[in-house]
Amino acid sequence: MSLNSNIPSGPIESKWSTHKFNSSLVNPANKRKFSVIIVGTGLAGASAAATLSELGYNISVFCYQDSPRRAHSIAAQGGINAAKNYQNDGDSVYRLFYDTVKGGDFRSREANVHRLAELSVNIIDQCAAQGVPFAREYGGYLANRSFGGAQVSRTFYARGQTGQQLLLGAYSALMKEVENGSVKMHPRTEMLDVVVIDGKARGIIVRNLETGEIESHLADAVILASGGYGNVFYLSTNAMGCNVTAAWKAHKKGAFFANPCYTQIHPTCIPVHGDFQSKLTLMSESLRNDGRVWVPKSGDDKRHPNEIPEEERDYYLERKYPSFGNLVPRDLASRNAKYMCDEGRGVGSTKLAVYLDFAASIKRLGRDAIEARYGNLFEMYERITDSNPYTEPMRIFPAVHYTMGGLWVDYNLMSNLPGLFVLGEANFSDHGSNRLGASALMQGLCDGYFVIPYTLGNYLANTKLKSTTTDDEAFKYAENEQNQKIKKMLNIKGEKTVDEFHRELGLLVWDKCGMSRSEQGLSEALGKIPKIREEFWNNVKIPGNDNELNQTLERAGRVADFLEFGELMCRDALERRESCGGHFREESQTPEGEALRDDENFSHVSAWEHTGEGKPEVLHKEDLVFENVKLSQRSYK
Q: Are 414 and 452 within 8 A, CB to CB? A: no
Cross-strand pairs, 190: 207
Q: Are 327 and 150 within 8 A, CB to CB? A: yes
Annotated catalytic residue 330? yes
* Residue 203: Cβ-neighbour burial (10 angstroms; 0-12, 13-18, 19+): buried
Q: CA–CA distance from 12 to each of 116, 130, 251, 255 (Å)? A: 12, 30, 30, 27
Rounded to 5 degrees, what are φ and ψ at 565? -65, -40
C-alpha 107/C-alpha 368 separation (Å) is 41
Q: Are 334 and 515 within 8 A, CB to CB? A: yes
Which run of H or of E encompasses 621?
Answer: strand 618-623
**What region does 532 belong to: left with phi over 0, alpha with psi -120 to 50, or beta?**
alpha
What is the Cα Rg of the chain in Å? 24
C-alpha 415/C-alpha 426 separation (Å) is 11
Closest CA to 358 of 327, 388, 313, 325: 388
C-alpha 579/C-alpha 602 separation (Å) is 10
Dihedral of alpha carbons 568, 573, 575, 576, sign:
positive
Tell me how many degrees the CA angle 257-260-263 measures, rounded to the nearest 5.
145
Active-site residue identified among 330, 335, 503, 576: 330
User: In residues, how long is the chain?
Assistant: 637
Pairing relation of β-strands 221-224 and 214-218?
A: unpaired
* Range list of β-strands (E), 351-492: 354-357, 394-403, 406-407, 420-422
* Residue 373: Cβ-neighbour burial (10 angstroms; 0-12, 13-18, 19+): buried
Closest CA to 206 of 186, 225, 224, 226: 186
C-alpha 474/C-alpha 293 separation (Å) is 56
Q: Are 270 and 385 within 8 A, CB to CB? A: yes
C-alpha 623/C-alpha 16 separation (Å) is 21
Q: How far is CA 64 from the centre of its chain?
A: 18
> Would you please indicate which residues are annotated as catalytic (active-site) residues?
330
